[in-house]
Amino acid sequence: MKKTISLLLISFYITVCVNANTTTYVFTSTTWKSKVGTIVTDAKTDGWICNKEATDYNEGRTDAQGALYSRGVGVKTGTTGAGCTSVITFSKVRKVIVNYCQNSSKGKGQINISVGDKTESIIVSRPASSGEGVYNRDAELTFAEESGQVTLSVDCTENGIYINTITIKADNGSPYNPSVAGSVFKLVTDASQLQDGDEVFFGVAKDKINYVMGIWDETFSKNNIAAIKASYDDDRQVVTAGDECSYMVERHGDSIAFLDIYNWYLVASGGNPNRGSNNYLTVWDKYHSENFGDYGLWDVQVSADGKAMVKSYGTSRSNLIQFNPNGSNSRPIFACYAEAQYTPIAIYRRQSDIDITKPMIQCNFVNFGSQLLTEKKVEDSKRLAVQAINLKEDITASLKYGTVFGLDKTLLDRDGDNLTISCSASEMGDYMDSLILKSGETMKAVAVLLHVDRTISIADARGLENLTTCWLNDVTVTKKYNQHIFAKDATGCILLYDAGNMYGQGIKKGDVLTGVSGYVKNYYGNPEVCLNSQFEVTGQTDVMPDIIERLDSADVCRFVRLENQKLTAISLYDLFNYIGEQRYPDNMNYNVEGIVYYYDKPVLCPTLIETTTGITDNMLRHDNENMSVYQVNGQRVAVNNLRKRGVYIYNGKKVVVQ
């Protein structure tokens, strides 16, 4: 069939800014130069005129939790009164917010803000405890809709006070503030949000994995689609990528088809519905095929936290789109799989243009994610940016239930404000609430989500249903080989399957692992936890095999030792490539250590084979040509290099033949 290509034209959009009446200036020098966003002001049409130069300027840093500290223009006691005046005359100023810090345990005085003839002051006291002063924080001043130029000055009576930003909420703002609405790709949290003609990106529903799905390219692969680098915001609710990564939604009742920019349908074509395991994700000019059925129609289910299950209606056994970080030629890809074994995807929809003439409140939904109940309770907090435009009244904030979640304030500024939401839960479960933001007749409701887990034993994990997500108690590694990490605790043993070797690089036998999580899977009789996040190595311990007399199904994944047996009496499987081309004499007895694995029946995957029969004098001779020489209790001995490599016993001492 001749393939015809028609280009789907993509519109150009301008960046959103819904806070046109709120201007935040970031100070950048001792002369009070500033910028708005990334644009430097010029102190002629905008910015600040220096009234008195400050002492110094500190670029500042962020700590491990992302908190900003020690940033701003420093005003010391010798420069008390340093400050500046805005170039712009602001109309009806309602609020001024100053972001500032001190030194570690010192710094006193006051920050003065004047609007026209009205002056208000922020009293700065010495920090309550050592170390707190360096962290930047906000202080607010409220004005009765004063108009005029804004003047800032700092009176420092001890050590230093650092001014980082000043935010002014008024009826007018900086000329550098963009005032046109546009569109962004925002996270889809319900499949009903997807409508005919929508443009979407296929993203990744996992923190710090910054890819989206590109378009099918035969030069890259015929059976999957390359992942393309993208930029996500901190909450992963907005993504930015090239328009060549977008797909168009075509609704067919309850099912959805997706067309790429060349009008090709995204299809799953993995082959035989009973035996097919090919992970094909490709494109075709029709969504139906005689061989694969409706392979281009998809059942789309989206959870409240944005995880999307996109499953083909076709006959292919591999029909679920997932992200594989180590796919084709070790490159990240999007492909179809028969089970949910790889990273789930998320769908991002191009948001419609905003009408800047209408009142509006915007706020991302709040996802505290999956948290581990390690102490008596889970406690956390998030700071939200509530954006607003064209409101006549301040915004009230409330929670529908308010049992697990709480707010730091219930009244927000009409031009947008920051809001901190906290959570506290002492039991496992899924928690959901709604944050209600309201101003007059304008209302916005956003979801608030939290999933609380606790750690469980390996025995408990082995009893869970297939594909159930869990967190394990601390476990000890008994064997690491490529993607296989065998581990144990006091209750049992399990295989931690590390697809793509993403999380376990560098770990070794005896490592104690904390924070292991993933979903449970029974792999043909072998209990697994397929890893889905990074864990920590928190210790190291000696690991000795358990001595058993025979292999049993109950010992699957266990590190064991069989002693003084013929190898012909043991079912061996060379999972770790230990045996290779080696041959062991049948007339000798051996001690064998390894991991029990299920391969149609319990088999032993050896990590050590040693003879117990002993090596005769004609097997060990002094240095001769073509002999490998080893030390045994300080005495040099040679082993005929035709012998099998391994560990042998000679006069009660081990001889290693390599």
Cα separation, 389 vs 358, in Å, equals: 8
CATH number where 220 lies:
2.80.10.50
Q: Which two tokens stand for residue 554?
A: 């109950």
Q: Does 201 lie in the same domain as 164?
A: no
Q: Does 557 lie in the same domain as 524?
A: no
Beta carbons of 211 and 227 less than 8 angstroms apart: yes
pLDDT of 593 reads 94
For residues 453, 457, 458, 459, the Cα torsion angle rounded to the nearest 10 degrees is -120
**What residues are paired with 256 via a beta bridge?**
251, 298
Q: Can you list the residues of the chain whose pLDDT is less than 70?
A: 1-20, 64-65, 177-183, 271-277, 352-356, 613-658
Q: Tell whether 1 is covered by a domain.
A: no
SS3 call for 191: helix
Beta carbons of 125 and 168 less than 8 angstroms apart: no
Q: Does 323 lie in the same domain as 254?
A: yes
Domain span including residue 306: 185-350
Q: Which two tokens stand for residue 137?
A: 């924080």
Q: Does 258 lie in the same domain as 232?
A: yes
Q: Give the burial class of 71: count Cβ atoms within 10 A of its Cβ; 0-12 exposed, 13-18 middle, 19 or more buried.
A: buried
pLDDT of 273 reads 59
Of 318, 350, 382, which residue constitutes the final position of a domain? 350
Q: How many residues does the chain have?
A: 658
Q: Tell whether 175 is covered by a domain.
A: no
Q: Does 196 lie in the same domain as 341?
A: yes
pLDDT tens digit sequence for 537-561: 999 999 999 999 999 999 999 999 9
Q: Does 273 lie in the same domain as 394?
A: no
Cα separation, 122 vs 97, in Å, equals: 10
Cα separation, 345 vs 535, in Å, equals: 22
Q: Which two tokens stand for residue 434?
A: 């709604």
H helices of 202-323, in order, are none
Q: Tell whether 126 is covered by a domain.
A: yes
pLDDT of 179 reads 38
Of 540, 572, 589, which residue constitutes the final position of a domain? 540
Of 540, 569, 592, which residue constitutes the final position of a domain? 540
Cα separation, 268 vs 286, in Å, equals: 12
Map tokens 């590694």 to a residue: 477
Q: Tell whether 605 is covered by a domain.
A: yes
Q: Tell whether 281 is covered by a domain.
A: yes
Nearest to 374 by CA among 439, 454, 443: 454
CATH number where 420 lies:
2.60.40.10
Q: Tell whether 179 is covered by a domain.
A: no
Identify each DSSP E strand in 343-441 by its residue range. 345-350, 360-362, 366-372, 378-389, 395-399, 405-407, 411-412, 416-425, 429-439
Pairing of strands 61-62, 118-124: unpaired
Nearest to 656 by CA among 638, 588, 642: 638
pLDDT of 65 reads 67
pLDDT of 389 reads 84
Q: Tell whether 13 is covered by a domain.
A: no
Number of domains in the chain: 6
CATH number where 26 lies:
2.60.120
pLDDT of 8 reads 32
Q: Does 640 lie in the same domain as 535?
A: no
Whole-structure pTM value: 0.62
Nearest to 558 by CA among 523, 590, 598: 598
Q: Which two tokens stand for residue 105?
A: 């345990």
Averaged confidence pLDDT in the chain: 85
Q: Does 504 lie in the same domain as 469?
A: yes
Nearest to 430 by CA among 569, 595, 303: 303
Task: Measure Cα distances from 42 to 33, 90, 178, 342 in Å.
Answer: 8, 17, 17, 51
CATH number where 487 lies:
2.40.50.200
pLDDT tens digit sequence for 497-527: 997 788 898 999 999 999 999 889 898 999 9
Q: Does 522 lie in the same domain as 558?
A: no
pLDDT of 274 reads 56
Q: Does 374 lie in the same domain as 266?
A: no
Q: Tell whether 558 is covered by a domain.
A: yes
Q: Does 304 lie in the same domain as 430?
A: no
Under DSSP, the state recorded for 26 is E
Q: Does 165 lie in the same domain as 30?
A: yes
